Amino acid sequence: MISFKNLQQVYALLICLVSMIVLLIQGGNFLDDSTRFLFPSYRNASQLLTFQSNDAYLRHYNFGSDTERLEAKKLTPEKLTEIRLKDQKHFIEVEYFRALDSLIKTIQWILVALLFFWVHWRLYKKSDHK
């Protein structure tokens, strides 16, 4: 016959297991989000190729419509370079803040999982000594 003490231990260990799984997954996410946050240019290198030159910018950048692309082609090289560099800076800033947002959410998950693990590990240890 399973006693209440045994059920309590199984429950506590099950929650500890689930918490550890969440911690393992979020630990990987933390490392990924950290590199996205600390090195946005490195992590987005393939997308930044779009901003490498005016030609690449005109060829690959999503202007929203063909009309906007045609208008951009009519600009002087200096003006196009100015717009391209401004868009590149904006792209990096957006990626930086997306990474920050994701990093904050990951840290929240880690804290919740640690709290659940700690509470249920104490519950398990307490039920073990009774």
Tell me: the pLDDT tens digits for 67-107? 888 888 899 999 999 999 999 999 999 999 999 999 999 99
Rounded to whole angstroms, the Cα distance separating 122 from 77 reads 67
Residue whose pair of structure tokens reads 């959410």 in the numeric block: 105
- Can you tell me whether residue 76 is helix, strand or coil? coil
Residue whose pair of structure tokens reads 């840290």 in the numeric block: 107
Residue whose pair of structure tokens reads 């990093």 in the numeric block: 103
Length of the chain: 130
Q: How far, in whole angstroms, is CA 116 from its chain's centroid? A: 23
Q: What is the CA radius of gyration of the chain?
A: 25
> Over the stretch 11-47, which tens digit does the pLDDT of each residue have?
999 999 999 999 999 999 999 999 999 998 888 898 9
- Show me where the domains of the chain are located: 4-128
**pLDDT bracket for residue 61 (50, 70, 90):** confident
